[in-house]
Structure 1
Amino acid sequence: MSPPARRGGTLVLLGGGEWRGGCRELDAELLAAAGASEVVVIPAAAAYEHPERVGERAAAYFGGLGASVRTLPVLHRRDAEDPALAEVVRKARFVHLADGSPLHLRSVLKGSALFEAVLAAFHGGAVLAASGAGATLVGDPMVDPRGGAYTVGLAVAPALAVFPYHGTAADHMRERSIELLPPAAKLVGIDEDTALVRDRSGAWRVAGSGAVTVYEGRTQQRYAAGDAVSSLA
């Protein structure tokens, strides 16, 4: 069953290039707004891609913004059922889902105690940021990286499909996702070093150095950094 489409905290969907500085001003703003001195990072999507580097990069980046990083040892499904780790997430003010494999991340999180804690923190007002694979999974339907068709996501943002690395993706993948988009959903293509942000009021905006393109059927609209995304209102 999909989680309820409630609003609470701030949702940040990053198109890729996490912790490289393209969204530095946004992250500083979010840390201040959430009253967060610590960022809880979930590296599960990178379980088979040197997950230890995720925490190192996050710590170096957020350290420059005056915040500490707690990278949780969550790489596999059994880790996501650990009540102690779930409690850490539940109390967090800023949670970040790292990039990697969206299919592995889904197998770890879907229906888990940890994901319930993510939702509890988010609906309690925390920032939930997700980059690349994480951003893909947050929507529903989810773009399948194996071919650009659709599968089931976590529906934190229901009826919204996320296409990360939009500016550098293969044309055939992008076209397939556009062609197969379900009628009731919208597709958002997010460039690297760019974020699509939904604030606590439900308003969407673009931050970072690139653009966000919203597809609805065969129509599309492009938004640059600083723009309000009116087509998602």
Structure 2
Amino acid sequence: MPSRRDSLRALAGLLALPAAGWAAPPAPATRRSGHLIAVGGAEDRERDRLILRRFVELSGGPRARLLVLTAASADPEGSWAGYQRVFAELGAQHVEPIDFRSADEAHDPAAVERLLAADGIYISGGDQRRLMAALWETPAARALHRAFHLRGACIGGTSAGAAALSRQMLAIGEPALRPYRDAVSLDIGLGLLAYAIIDQHFNERHRLGRLLSAVALRPDLLGVGIDEDTALVIERGRAIEVLGNGAVTLLDGRQMRSNVRDTDPEDPLQLLDVRLHLLPAGSRFELTDTDTDTPQPPPALRRTLELLVRPGPIRG
């Protein structure tokens, strides 16, 4: 009987086969490590396009097979047209749209095969609830996990697409000036980032209060606030970096004491001993101690980042 490791290797080999209509690029010399790129929205598409350029690079370069998933958008054709132009100008040679308007469409075997064969999948903005209504518990959602975990694909998401990367997703939230229990409503996301809750347009829309509200409800998870035209890049199990023109705010409430269970729904919360880390664009931290040129994070930040990069379970 083959071992579990042999079975996984065989499955990974099957997933590496190209989808119909896509020519297979040269096999990489080494297996890529999976990357997540969570973008706070409004990423630059006209000037340096640093974030989208990095997405193409981490997906494998100009010959990578890229998909733009527009299921969150109310205007999928318009969303695709904008990204089609940008990726073409960045030199990407194989870029196609993929969209799901319903869970029935997310069961289509041909669409699932395209997701499994992709080197990079970029999830557009829109409404994360619309995205999850189409993908929840479908073969397409499981294909995203298999592409990321088994093939090392790069999965990016902007605005609503970023919010949906986490397992616990911010579904509804008010721009609260101060945290209170009913400021947010959480729902289930894609689960590619298992131990965090992502909020986007963070400083531009003054969302610290609502992210603190989410962390009060789930202190076991990190709060991740991402500014516009800013991306948090996570290399699974290894490193993080921040790209763009803003910052990433990390909230760690695992040692927090709060009155969230005892207070009225709209009363201000008391939150004690919450760790806050602010990482401006240009920040990079390596957690494997193999890159001597990258600074080591201080102990409290290291503990936060170790949870952020920790791989979650594969839903496949």
TM-score with structure 1 setting the length: 0.87
Shift in Å at residue 28 of structure 1? Answer: 2.7
Q: Judging changes above 3 Å, is the alpha-carbon distance between structure 1 residues 73 and 183 closer, same or farther for their aligned structure 2 residues? A: closer
Highest CA radius of gyration, 1 or 2?
2
The one-character-per-residue Cα deviations of 1:16-50 (angstroms, maximum 9, x if unpaired) are: 0146257723433442343243320110001xx22
Tell me, yes or no, if the aligned pair for 2:141 and 2:190 is still in contact at 8 Å.
no
Instruction: Kindly report which structure 2 residues correspond to 1:102-117, keeping only aligned pairs within 5 A, or say none.
Output: 102-117=128-143
Tell me, yes or no, if the aligned pair for 2:173 and 2:210 is still in contact at 8 Å.
no
Instruction: Kindly report which structure 2 residues correspond to 1:209-224, keeping only aligned pairs within 5 A, or say none.
Output: 209-217=245-253, 218-224=274-280
Q: Which residue of 2 aligns with 1:189?
A: 225
Q: Judging changes above 3 Å, is the alpha-carbon distance between structure 1 residues 151 and 44 closer, same or farther for their aligned structure 2 residues? A: same
Shift in Å at residue 135 of structure 1? Answer: 1.0
The percentage of counterpart residues that share the same residue type is 29
Which range is displaced more, 183-192 or 211-220? 211-220
Shift in Å at residue 53 of structure 1? Answer: 0.7
Q: Which residue of 2 aligns with 1:232?
A: 305
- Give the residue type in structure 1 aligned to 2:240: W
Which range is displaced more, 141-150 or 87-96? 141-150
Shift in Å at residue 8 of structure 1? Answer: 4.6
Shift in Å at residue 180 of structure 1? Answer: 3.6
Q: What is the number of equivalent residue pairs in this alignment?
A: 223
Shift in Å at residue 116 of structure 1? Answer: 1.2
Q: Judging changes above 3 Å, is the alpha-carbon distance between structure 1 residues 39 and 18 closer, same or farther for their aligned structure 2 residues? A: farther
Q: Judging changes above 3 Å, is the alpha-carbon distance between structure 1 residues 93 and 224 closer, same or farther for their aligned structure 2 residues? A: same
Give the Cα–Cα distance (whole angstroms) in 2 for the partners of residues 53 and 176 of structure 1: 30
Q: Helix, strand or coil for the counterpart of 1:45?
A: coil
Shift in Å at residue 204 of structure 1? Answer: 1.4
Q: Helix, strand or coil for the counterpart of 2:284?
A: coil
Q: Which runs of 5+ in 1 are unaligned?
A: 1-6
The one-character-per-residue Cα deviations of 1:30-85 (angstroms, maximum 9, x if unpaired) are: 42343243320110001xx2211111001111111101420013222221111101
Q: Which residue of 2 aligns with 1:120?
A: 146
Larger relative contact order (C-alpha < 8 A, sep ≥ 6)?
Answer: 1
Q: Judging changes above 3 Å, is the alpha-carbon distance between structure 1 residues 160 and 22 closer, same or farther for their aligned structure 2 residues? A: farther
- Say which of 204, 208, 211 aligns to 1:177: 211
Tell me, yes or no, if the aligned pair for 2:37 and 2:55 is still in contact at 8 Å.
no
Tell me, yes or no, if the aligned pair for 1:23 and 1:207 is still in contact at 8 Å.
no
Structure 1's consecutive aligned runs of 4 or more residues displaced over 6 angstroms after TM superposition are none
- Is residue 17 of structure 1 aligned with residue 42 of structure 2? yes
Give the Cα–Cα distance (whole angstroms) in 2 for the partners of residues 139 and 86 of structure 1: 21
Q: Judging changes above 3 Å, is the alpha-carbon distance between structure 1 residues 221 and 146 closer, same or farther for their aligned structure 2 residues? A: closer
- Say which of 157, 161, 175 aligns to 1:130: 157
Which range is displaced more, 30-39 or 155-164? 30-39
Q: Which runs of 5+ in 2 are unaligned?
A: 1-31, 175-183, 254-273, 286-300, 307-316
